[in-house]
Amino acid sequence: MKHGMLEKLRKSMIRRNVANVLLWIVPLLAAIFLLTRLTSTRVVLAAALLAIVLLVVRLIQALRSVDLGDVVRKLDASSPTLEDSADLLLDPATHRTPLQTLQRERVRATIETAAMVDLRAAWKWRVAFLVAGILLSLSMLTIFLPKSLSLPNAQSEVPLPSAAQPEVTRLSSSQLEIKAPAYTGLSDRNELVLDAKFAEGSRLHWRLVFDPQPTSASLLFHDGSKLVLRQDDAGWIAEKVLSESALYRIAIESAAPLAEDRLFRLDAMVDQPPEIRVIQPDKTLSMVELDQQSWMLEFEVSDDFAIADARLAITLAQGSGEQVTVSERSERLRADASTDPRRQRYRRNLDLASLGYSAGDDLIIRLIVRDKREPSANTSRSASYILRWPPEMSAESDGVEGIVQKVLPAYFRSQRQIIIDSEALIDERKTLSDDRFLARSDSIGVDQKILRLRYGQFLGEEFESGAAEHQKKGKDDEKASQQDALVEDHGHQQDATTATTFGNETNILAEYGHTHDHAGAATLLDPETKKILKAALAEMWQAELHLRLGKPREALPNENRALILIKQVQQSTRIYLARVGLELPPVDPSRRLSGERKGVADPRGVLVDSEPGDKVIANIYKQLAEKSAVDLDAFDAWLRGEGAKRADALSLIASIDALRREPTCADCRNHLLDQLWQAMSPPPVATKLRSPPDVAGLEYLDKIESDVHR
């Protein structure tokens, strides 16, 4: 009670002192703010810590700064009316003299009346705020300073702790520039990650910046190839043209290993061959309609990049049976106007008449499309579409033979016809005038010449140009002395019905024989046959010579020899095709049915496991799933060797690598498991044998058996 007044005064003084200390928080904060602009966080933190310690010390000092004695002294100093007796207020009551008591009461009254005694220290905000203002304006200045000025300041701090040894090398920036081949029309891309997809054949350009700088760097590809990176002022660069998917990792020579050392994946987007959609005709075999003049074709072609050209292959098969003439040609189609080079539409209206399409012919078309892939274009072919003009029913098909036509090789008949004609001429020699005889003999000679030329084509000999001229001439003048065989044959055709059976056969020759194109057959004959054919032609030459000279009797032996030779040719040409398929060893006739077994050995069984790859994958999956020891190296080696054909080999290699680098990574393990699971195919069913019976069971089984036998 007695100190109540003094105590109140003391507390107010302490409060002011504390407030004066707390005022300094403002300049301290400003100082820290300035530091953050200039130095590293570590320094800032240290400074902040120091400031807090200082503040706390000052606060404690401020809290203990004032005791009651100080208050009394201050009271005495502040007011002379107290007559330096304020300390009486502190004295205990017991030892007071009456005078002291009196004086004490006076002082008390004075203080109470004065009431508003202010003993507190003055506010010291001016200095604090001035310092804070200066610091803040300094930090404002740093904002406008260029970075180069403030950075060295910051860096001067950083190297100190890290100068000793950076722990890892960081890839501070990476850039992968992909230049797709020009034909794709893809624009160049810049990837900031090192995994990328690229069109096959793209040129890839890496630019890597490491921190700190390694002494050398390279890219290691999964197939073992190495691409050395060159250093230039903007980083480490390298360039490579890739046409296949690949995995690679960055290898550096540096004291500090790479922070993120993993496999990167480059996926090649393979240029697919163009796709052809045939809109018209809608079925592969269409029958010609009555009075059809043209055949409308329509195709839609799409490709992933660009279509180079489209060609229409037109095949016309004329004739029937063995006498089929096939003519092929191809024409380039022009696409409908389209802005998209990846999707084109082609239309073509085939004029049937101009193709020479007639009854019994097949018109076969297919579209062949190439894209612009480099270096070799992808080619797609559509299915063959056939327009069929069914042949007219044969005139002779009145019997049970139906439409079967007797098509026999015409040339033998012709050679024989020449012989018969020659013999007939020899018989008629007496009744004929010399001129007439010579003319008849000459005409047989022309026949012989035509026949020789026709066979000559088999040997690749040129058809004499004279024949075509004769043909024209023949058309003008039926009675030309040197009649063309073709015209002659047509003549035969006209009187075929009244002629002998031989003539009838010649008819067929006329119909099918001379339009037949043998040019392609020149290579079909084996050398042996060619030799015989040559001999036959030589005989024909001789026969023609004699016939032209009007000596059919001398020509006759040549004609007969030619016939025999041609017959041989006919027989040998029948087996000119090699047969393929089961080739059994030749039967040894000397051992047949003799029971002779010498030299016959048991064939060895050579059954081996057909799917060893599946077992490798299944085994790895099992080990990995059970978390037992896994031989990833062996699996990796297998994937690079035997398993390299697998489509998923690359991704498996990448997953294995990820797991090997981080064996504890559960996600990597699960990812690999997922991939292995996908790669596994159900194996053949395994067998689980019964488990063995126990001793009692065995005894029981044995007893039962002996009981049965008893």
Cα–Cα distance, 354 to 342 (Å, whole number): 33
Check if the beta carbon of residue 333 is closer than 8 Å to that of residue 346: yes
State the number of CA atoms in the 13 A half-sphere of 587 facing the CB: 4
Check residue 608 for interaction with another protein (CB under 8 A). yes
- Binding another protein (rule: CB under 8 A), the pick from 622, 631, 633, 667 is 622
Binding of residue 704 to another protein (CB under 8 A)? yes
Contact flag: residue 628 with another protein (CB under 8 A): yes
Least Cβ distance, residue 595 to another protein (angstroms): 10
Q: Which is nearer to another protein, 138 or 618 (CB)?
A: 618
Q: Which of 99, 395, 600, 647 binds another protein (CB under 8 A)?
A: 600
Instruction: Establish if 599 lies at the interface with another protein (CB under 8 A).
Output: no
Residues contacting 509, CB < 8 A, separation 6+: 410, 411, 413, 414, 489
If binding is defined by CB under 8 A, does position 598 make contact with another protein?
no
CA dist list (Å): 705 to 499, 691, 696, 708, 710: 96, 20, 14, 5, 9
Closer residue to another protein in complex, CB, 627/645 = 627
Q: Single out the residue of 147, 283, 479, 688 in contact with another protein (rule: CB under 8 A).
A: 688
Q: Decide: helix, strand or coil at residue 322.
A: coil
Residue 462 as a binder of another protein (CB under 8 A): the answer is no
Q: Which of 166, 460, 663, 693 touches another protein by CB under 8 A?
A: 693
User: Among 115, 593, 607, 695, which residue interacts with another protein (rule: CB under 8 A)?
Assistant: 607
688 DSSP assignment: -
Closest approach of Cβ 656 to another protein, in Å? Answer: 17
Using rule CB under 8 A, residue 686 touches another protein: yes
Contact status: 390 vs another protein (CB under 8 A): no
Is residue 592 at the binding interface for another protein, with CB under 8 A as the rule? no
702 binds another protein (CB under 8 A): yes
Q: Which residues, 6 or more positions from 47, have their beta carbon under 8 angstroms from its beta carbon?
A: 31, 32, 35
For another protein, the closer CB: 290 or 584: 584
User: Total number of residues binding another protein (CB under 8 A)?
Assistant: 46
611 lies in the site for another protein, by CB under 8 A: yes
For residue 602, count other CB atoms closer than 10 A to its CB.
Answer: 5
C-alpha 30/C-alpha 514 separation (Å) is: 113
Query: Residue 594, interface with another protein (CB under 8 A)?
Result: no
Instruction: Tell me the two tokens of residue 301.
Output: 């072609």
Q: Minimum distance between the CB of residue 639 and another protein, rounded to whole angstroms? A: 17
Residues 654-673 that bind another protein (CB under 8 A): 673
Backbone CA torsion sign across 577, 583, 588, 591: negative
Cα of 362 vs its chain's centroid, Å: 39
Which of 168-176, 285-293, 552-560, 675-683 is the region at the interface with another protein (rule: CB under 8 A)? 675-683
C-alpha to C-alpha distance for 209 and 654, rounded to whole angstroms: 24
488 Cβ contact list (under 8 Å, min separation 6): 443, 446, 447, 450
* Binding map of another protein across residues 306-335, x = CB under 8 A, - = no contact: ------------------------------
In sequence order, the 6+-apart residues with CB closer than 8 A to the CB of 342 are 302, 303, 304, 305, 306, 307
* Nearer of residues 159 and 605 to another protein, judged by Cβ: 605
Alpha-carbon dihedral sign for residues 191, 194, 198, 203: positive
| Helical spans, DSSP H, in 230-327 | none
161 near another protein, rule: CB under 8 A: no
- Residue from 238, 251, 625, 658 touching another protein (CB under 8 A): that is 625
Judged by CB, which is closer to another protein: 92, or 684?
A: 684
602 counts as binding another protein under rule CB under 8 A: yes
Q: Which stretch binds another protein (CB under 8 A): 70-78, 105-113, 176-184, 619-627?
A: 619-627
| Residue 613 found at the interface with another protein (CB under 8 A) | no
What residues between 80 and 99 interact with another protein by CB under 8 A?
Answer: none
Could you say whether residue 337 binds another protein (CB under 8 A)?
no
Closest CA to 310 of 383, 369, 358, 242: 369
* Spatial CA neighbour of 391 closest among 293, 315, 328, 323: 323
For the CB of residue 597, give the shortest distance to another protein in the complex, in Å: 6
Spell 197-228 as b/e; 16+ CB within 10 A means b.
Answer: ebbbbbebbbbbebeeebeebbbebbeeeeee
In DSSP terms, 240 is beta-bridged to: 204
Q: Encoding tokens for residue 585? A: 């060893």
Q: Tell the smallest beta-carbon distance from residue 660 to another protein (Å).
A: 20
Choosing from 582, 593, 629, 685, the residue that interacts with another protein (CB under 8 A) is: 685
By CB under 8 A, residue 629 contacts another protein: no
Of the two residues 21 and 679, which places its CB atom closer to another protein in the complex? Answer: 679
Q: Is residue 517 helix, strand or coil?
A: coil
* 687 binds another protein, rule: CB under 8 A: yes
Least Å distance between CB 315 and another protein? 38
Residues that bind another protein (CB under 8 A): 597, 600-605, 607-611, 614-615, 617-619, 621-622, 625-628, 673-674, 677-678, 680-693, 698, 701-702, 704-705
